[in-house]
Amino acid sequence: MIEETEFLDLFIPGPVNVSKDSREMMTYPMIAHRSNTMSELHNDIAHYLQKMLFTTNQIILSTSSSTGLMEAAMRNCVNKNSVLNVVNGAFAERWSKIGSANGKKTDILQIDWGKAVTPKQLQEKLESNTYDAVCLTHNETSTGVATPLQDLYKTVKDNNCLLLVDAVSGAGGLEARIDDWEIDVYLFGLQKCIALSPGLAVASVSDAALEMAKKTPNRGLYFDFLDLKKYHDRGMQPATPVIPIYYQLQYKLHQIVDEEGIENRWARHQQLADYTRDWVKSKKLSLFAEEAVASNTVTCVNSKGIDVAKLKADLMKKGYFFATGYGKFKETNFRIAHMGDRTLDEVKAYLTTIEELTS
């Protein structure tokens, strides 16, 4: 049995620390997944997710990782035409891999890593072909880039495409106004900015996306949006859901919406990011991302000679789990996650420890 004192402070871009009060919500007694109690729980969660996301769209909950709902979006929202995947990092690449694995006609708009696509770049690419959908990554965890969805959605819509957004490390930490920005599928997990346990994924799904699903064959079984909607309208899922996390999510959403306020939560993430970026500059280090599109949930730092592997080991001795660079940047970058329920004092203490270990 692992003692609680043995757990490290997770300064990684997910899973993040889960507060004790949130963890305790998973100790509630089990309920029947076809009961009125389950439906009431489900419906309250859906209502609060709509509030948090500023949407009236259908809410879908899936006992899966977010990657599962990415596959669902691809299978339900891409029919006969191509799908355009905007790739500016390792996780944005996942969209194209999912498309290819599901037999979709996949096209890629490659953007330099560390940058975000511009409306002009997107428009030029959209003029080259006929697309059913455009896939964007709201927050690229590997590079610390936040895609400015508010600047891009009109370009997508002017070209009669569905807009599918991976918001895995952005939802709950970055501004997102689903209806105003006409986002057709906005999907994410709970283990990052929402600060809960992994195991449940969320998507808001527009009427246009559901209409596309009606015309699209081979939607699969587990991730069929139409089947999911049918059950969700009854406050249920087609298969047995991860009920303990439902309790957790209901509790957390009431905290986010009713107590902290989602716009205040966005502002807190902005504050933590600003402090972190100022610290990076003060240490004569540099951001991997262009500052204009730097993420408010995770900062990617060029290591500039810092032995990243040694720093990770040293921080572990201090009680922290440290995030190296991702993939090909594992040894040349490191990442500072400032997401979820993080406070400014916690970020300051962590950065001070890094400073002491690298000075």
Give the pLDDT band of residue 3 (cuts 50, 70, 90).
low
pLDDT in tens, 61-86: 999 999 999 999 999 999 999 999 99
Mean pLDDT of 252-258: 99
Q: Which two tokens stand for residue 15?
A: 């899973």
Mean pLDDT of 12-36: 98
Mean pLDDT of 175-187: 99
Q: What is the pLDDT of residue 287?
A: 98
Q: For the chain, first and last CA: distance in Å?
A: 37
pTM tops 0.85: yes
3-state secondary structure of 306: coil
User: Which CATH code for domain 26-259?
Assistant: 3.40.640.10
DSSP letter at 233 equals T
Mean pLDDT of the chain: 97
Q: In the chain, what's the furthest Cα-to-Cα distance?
A: 60
Give the pLDDT band of residue 10 (cuts 50, 70, 90).
very high
Q: What is the pLDDT of residue 327?
A: 87
Mean pLDDT of 104-123: 99
Give the pLDDT band of residue 328 (cuts 50, 70, 90).
confident
User: Residue holding tokens 């610290």?
Assistant: 279
Using CA atoms, how far residue 172 sits from 216, 223, 254, in Å, is 31, 24, 13
Q: Where in the chain is the domain with CATH 3.90.1150.10?
A: 4-15+262-358
DSSP letter at 325 equals -
Using CA atoms, how far residue 226 sits from 122, 209, 242, 252, 357, in Å, is 30, 10, 20, 28, 53
Q: What is the pLDDT of residue 163?
A: 99
Q: What is the pLDDT of residue 2?
A: 62
Calculate ∠ Cα 55-58-60, nearest 5°: 115
Domain 4-15+262-358 classified CATH 3.50.50.60?
no
Please provide residue 120's backbone torsions phi and psi, each rounded to the nearest 5 degrees: -65, -45
Q: Where in the chain is the domain with CATH 3.40.640.10?
A: 26-259
- State the number of CA atoms in the 13 A half-sphere of 76 facing the CB: 29
